[in-house]
Structure 1
Amino acid sequence: MESLEQRLLTVCNDRDHGSHWIVREAISILYDLATETASSSDESMQRLHRAARKLEQSHPAMAALSGATRRILNTPGGLSEKAAEAARLLEEVDHAADHIAAHAQSLLKG
């Protein structure tokens, strides 16, 4: 199993996948960092912010990535609230195609 640091480097260095995969992996990494219990709360929060900054800097033109990381980091509260927001975002990302297809179907039927 890859460590969080290895996963972060994989996403930061990825030039093969599209934005959907990169954004989903980034959110998953930030969720895992927010729920990590091995470090103090302050240290975990710093790691979360550093990881988000690395992700944003590695794909600066990817607005969806920046939006997702900002949404997590700007969530009021501590790590548990940020983890909950990341979980909500993962749910949204995982069901985005279903929502798009349902909306498109109603438009195509006229």
Structure 2
Amino acid sequence: MKITTPRWALEAAGAIGAEMAGTIAATGVRVVGDTALLSAVPEAVEKVPAAPRIAPEVAAQALYGALAAVASAPVRHSAPAKARTVHQTSSKELVRVLGHRCLKRLRRR
């Protein structure tokens, strides 16, 4: 999804740019380029609503299935838990633990 700047923000930026162009011109310095570009506001682009690629329900079921699969895998510790920091734990193991915790919470509800 493309993030666009709201029209009111573009116009406000254009007004600030026009004010700055006036201040620059008033100093009498030699300017290379067109100061009018500082106040230029781009033309509006038509927004076309993007249709979801998959239904949200299907995405939720897929996520739940992935979490269930990860949580069902045994968590193996290569060192005692107390002696290890998060930085010393593999990403794969962290995802397993997170999946297990998420499923526990979902089951409580």
Sort the TM-score into its range (normalised by shorter chain): under 0.3
Q: With the length of structure 1 as denominator, give the TM-score of the two structures.
A: 0.27
Greater relative CO, 1 or 2 (CA 8 Å, sep 6+): 1
Structure with larger Rg: 2
Q: TM-score, normalised by structure 2?
A: 0.28
